[in-house]
Amino acid sequence: MNHFELSGGELACEDVGLSAIAEAVGTPVYVYSTATLERHYTVLRDALVSEGLGDPLIAFAVKSNSNVAVLRTLGRLGAGADTVSEGEIRRALAAGIPAERIVFSGVGKTEAEIAFALRNGVGEINVESEPEMHTASAVAQSMGTRATIAIRVNPDVSAGGHAKISTGKSDNKFGVSFSEAERLYAQASNNAGLKPVGVTCHIGSQITHLAPLEEAFVKMRSLVERLRGEGLAVERLDLGGGLGVPYFNMPTPATPADYAAMIARTMKGLDVQFAFEPGRMISANAGVLLSTVQHIHERPEGRKFVVLDAAMNDLIRPAMYDAYHDIRPVKPREGDPVTYDVVGPICETGDTFTRDRDLPRLEAGDLVAFMSAGAYGAVMSSEYNSRLLVPEVLVNGDQFAVIRPRPTYEDMLDREAMPGWLASDT
C-alpha cells in the first residue's frame, strides 16, 4: 500500500495535492511519502519479528534512495544502512544512523574507503573476494584494529528478472563460491586484522518469486552449519535485499509476510542474528516523479507523442532496463483513453518512457506522475544535456519540504574550471 491516492479529483501524496508541490517547486520533481516509507519498513520488520526471527538488522539499501532526509526517516524507526561507497556511509552517518548499524558492501572498496569505514566504526564490512579480504586486513592492522567482516557468497542461483540487475550467478562479479567462503572464513578467523562475524548473499533485485531466494537461503544455512561444524563462530547471517515490488504490469510479487514465512521455514532452529538489505521494497512505491506535459506532438500517421519536461536523465530506468512505470495524470480527465508515446526532451530515441500506452486524454500544461519512482530514481539522475539535477521533496501528512533543491545554472557552471591556457579571450 502507498499513500498516493486521488482526493477530490487530484492525485495527492498523503494530505498534499501534487499540484501544490508542482506550483511551489516546479517540475520535474521527485516527491516522497513519509507514511509510505514508514509503512514499508514497519510491515517488513513486523513480518520478520512475528515469524520469530529475533531482532533483525534491516539495513536499508542506500543506493535505492540516498537522500539524507529519507535515511533519517527510516533511521528513526531503527533501520540501519547498507552502503557501497564512502559517500553512502557519509550520508548514513549524516542521517544519524548509528555506525554499528551500517553495512559496507561492494566489490571494489578502496583502501581509503575501508579506512574511513573502520575509523567511523562501521558495523560490518561485506568482503566480496580474497584480495579484498587481504586489503581489509592490511588496512585494519595498519590502524591497529580489526575489521568486522562478513564474507559475501555468490550462491550461484538464477534470480530471474532483468539480466543487468541479477547478481547471484557464478559468472557475475559478486562474492565468492561456497568452498572459497569456507576457506576464507577459516583464514579470517586466524588473521590479526579481521574478525569474521558472518556470511552474506544478495542474488538480485526486483525478484518476484520466492523460489530463487529460498534456494539461496537453504544453501546459506548449510554454509553456516558447516562453518560452525568446523568450530568457527558465526553470529550473523545477512540475506541481502532483492524482494520485488508491484510495477502495475508485473506479476504480483511475494509479500513481506510470505518472504518472512519462507525465511522462518528455511532457517528453523538456526540461532543467528539475521540482517537484511532491502532497498526497492521500502522506497520504490514511496516516491513519484512529477512532470509537466509540454505539448502533444501528433504525427500525420496518427502516432501521438506526449512530450514532458522530465527526461531519461531524471528517470533512467525505462531507457536502461525497459522498466515499466505507471503514469498517472494528476487530474485525470473523464472519457475514452488515448494511446500515447510518452517521451522526454533529450536528443536521443532512448529518451522514451513508454510507447503505445493508453492514458486518460492529456493536454499541454497537465501534470503527470511516474509511479514507483522512489527507488533507483533520483539516485540515478544526471545532468545529461546540461539539464539541472532534479529536486526532491518529502511529504509528511499535510506538510512538505524540499529535501534537495533544484540547483541554479550558476551552480552548474561554477563547478567547472577553465585551465590557464584557455582563460584569456585570445
Residue 241 binds ligand LLP (CB under 6 A): yes
Distance, CA of 281 to chain centre: 8
Query: CB burial class (10 A; 0-12, 13-18, 19+) of residue 251?
Result: exposed
Find the shortest distance in angstroms from Cβ 283 to ligand LLP: 8
List the x/- string, 1-40, binding to ligand LLP by CB under 6 A.
Answer: ----------------------------------------
* Residue of 286, 289, 279, 248 whose CA lies nearest to 18: 289
For residue 333, how far is the Cα from the chain centroid? 33
Q: Distance (Å, rounded) from C-alpha 313 to C-alpha 387? A: 8
Chain-centroid distance of CA 206 in Å reads 10
Q: Tell me the closest approach of the beta carbon of residue 202 to ligand LLP, in angstroms.
A: 4
Residues 6+ apart with CB under 8 A from 256: 43, 44, 47, 48, 243, 281
388 part of the interface to ligand LLP, by CB under 6 A: no
Of the residues 40, 101, 109, 202, which one makes contact with ligand LLP according to CB under 6 A: 202
Under the binding rule (CB under 6 A), the answer on residue 285 touching ligand LLP is no
- 226 by Cβ neighbours in 10 Å (0-12 / 13-18 / 19+) ranks as middle
Q: How far apart (Å, rounded) are the C-alpha atoms in residues 16 and 410?
A: 31
Residues in 145-174 that interact with ligand LLP by CB under 6 A: 165, 167
Q: One of 192, 252, 302, 347 is an active-site residue; which one?
A: 347
* Window of 224-232, 237-245, 267-275, 338-346 that interacts with ligand LLP by CB under 6 A: 237-245
Closest C-alpha among 214, 276, 261 to residue 56: 276
How many CB atoms are closer than 10 A to CB 163?
Answer: 10
Task: Identify which range of 12-20, 113-121, 179-187, 279-287 contacts ligand LLP by CB under 6 A.
Answer: 279-287
Minimum distance from CB of 9 to ligand LLP (Å)?
32
**Spatial CB neighbours of 380, under 8 Å, sequence gap ≥ 6:** 315, 316, 317, 320
Q: Minimum CB separation from ligand LLP for residue 319, in Å? A: 11
* Total residues at interface with ligand LLP (CB under 6 A): 22
Site residues for ligand LLP, 362-381, by CB under 6 A, read 375-376
Residue 277 binds ligand LLP, judged by CB under 6 A: yes
Q: Going residue by residue from 344 to 363, which x/- string records binding to ligand LLP, judged by CB under 6 A?
A: --------------------
**Nearer to ligand LLP (CB atom), residue 202 or residue 328:** 202
Q: Which of 25, 57, 58, 61 lies at the binding interface for ligand LLP (CB under 6 A)?
A: 61
Member of 40, 146, 317, 404 binding ligand LLP (CB under 6 A): 317
Cell 528517470 belongs to residue: 315
| Residue 2, CA distances (Å) to 256, 368, 398 in order | 15, 17, 16
Residues 209, 266, 203, 39: is their CA dihedral positive or negative? positive
Residue span binding ligand LLP (CB under 6 A) among the ranges 60-68, 130-138, 175-183, 351-359:
60-68
Residue listed under C-alpha cell 543506493: 63
> Is residue 105 part of the contact set for ligand LLP (CB under 6 A)?
yes
Stretch that binds ligand LLP, among 32-40, 134-142, 200-208, 215-223 (CB under 6 A): 200-208
- What would the x/- binding string for ligand LLP be over residues 204 to 223, using CB under 6 A? -xx-----------------
Stretch that binds ligand LLP, among 278-286, 287-295, 389-397, 409-417 (CB under 6 A): 278-286
Closest CA to 274 of 222, 237, 234, 227: 237
Q: What residues contact 147, with CB distance under 8 A and at least 6 apart?
A: 114, 118, 125, 136, 137, 139, 140, 193, 194, 195
The distance of Cα 212 from the centroid of its chain, to the nearest Å, equals: 20
DSSP codes of every residue in 56-91 = -EEEEEGGG---HHHHHHHHTTT-EEEESSHHHHHH
The answer to whether residue 347 is catalytic is: yes
280 is in an annotated binding site: yes
348 labeled binding residue? yes
Q: Which of 17, 168, 212, 242 binds ligand LLP (CB under 6 A)?
A: 242
Annotated binding site: 242, 277-280, 317, 321, 348, 376
The binding site for substrate comprises 280, 317, 321, 348, 376
Where does this chain bind ligand LLP (CB under 6 A)? 61, 63-64, 82, 105, 165, 167, 202, 205-206, 240-242, 277-281, 317, 321, 375-376
Active-site residue list: 347
